[in-house]
Amino acid sequence: MNPVAIITGGSRGIGRGIAFELARAGWDLALNYAGNRAAAEQTRGECISLAQRAGKAVQAEVCQADIGVGADRQRLIAFARAKFGRLDLLVNNAGVAPEVRADLLEATEASFDRLMRINVKGPYFLTQLAARWMLEQSAAGMPPAPFSRKIVTISSISAYTASVNRGDYCVAKAAVSMLTPLFATRLAEHGINVYEVRPGIIETDMTAPVKEKYDRLIHEGLTPIQRWGRPEDVGKAVAAIAQDALPFSTGEVINVDGGFHLRRL
């Protein structure tokens, strides 16, 4: 039996990169998306062919749900239950940037509320639902197979980096960082490890509008590893965690940022 993962925002970008790496490793996938069904279907198809090429047979299904909406979160969990009947991994990846990069002195409450709803409240309460289901599986004597159950949240270097033209995004990413130590502490006794993966500058639709700026900064040495990150860089980290590469670590932050976080002199 294949292990099963839910990936929020699995249609494009980093979520797609995570889906590809897990599919190659033989995971069944519930791929959540917000509105771009065509992208989600494309990811689904490519997951199945990548798995086949790796000699695995996987099932991948797509599910529209706005993770910032309670009823949608319930529906996503119900969908995964109906399709797969088990859950081994939740990847909280879906997230949005502000619609307008506005200065700290000008940015609106509406933008703040949107980012807190999608980037913080969404993963927080989806984790609550997923954790309850994982505990229910343990209580029913369903063994985790073949890896222990886990929760991984994709945050950002913005959790600790001040960008004054998107303070709402930074505040939301700092807030969602706290999810990991909280759930790691609560769930350790149940054998569920919880991790934060903290990407740096990754080439996706989210960063496309600022590509030239980041091209320049990377060229000037912003990151010790002098290139853009790719969705597969994050996917490989999540796949390693998912497959028990860090069994005696929980509540950890894994930086996938080309060394951006290193202080240098």
Q: Where does this chain bind ligand NAP (CB under 6 A)?
A: 8-9, 11-15, 32-36, 39, 66-68, 93-96, 118, 154, 156, 199, 201-202, 204-207
d(CA 170, CA 168): 5
Contacts (Cβ under 8 Å, ≥6 apart) of 237? 197, 254, 256
The sign of the dihedral angle between the CA atoms of 126, 129, 132, 138 is negative
SS3 259: coil
Pick between residue 37 and residue 132 the one whose CB is nearest to ligand NAP.
Answer: 37
Closest to ligand NAP by CB, 32 vs 243, is 32
Closer residue to ligand NAP in complex, CB, 25/201? 201
In the block, tokens 């303070």 appear at 167
Tell me the closest approach of the beta carbon of residue 132 to ligand NAP, in angstroms: 20
Q: 36 vs 59, which CB is nearer to ligand NAP? A: 36
Angle, to 10 degrees, between the axis of helix 167-177 and the axis of helix 109-116? 30
Radius of gyration of the chain (CA): 18
Nearer to ligand NAP among residue 14 and residue 25 (C-beta): 14
Report the distance separating Cα 88 and Cα 30, nearest Å. Answer: 11
d(CA 128, CA 130): 6
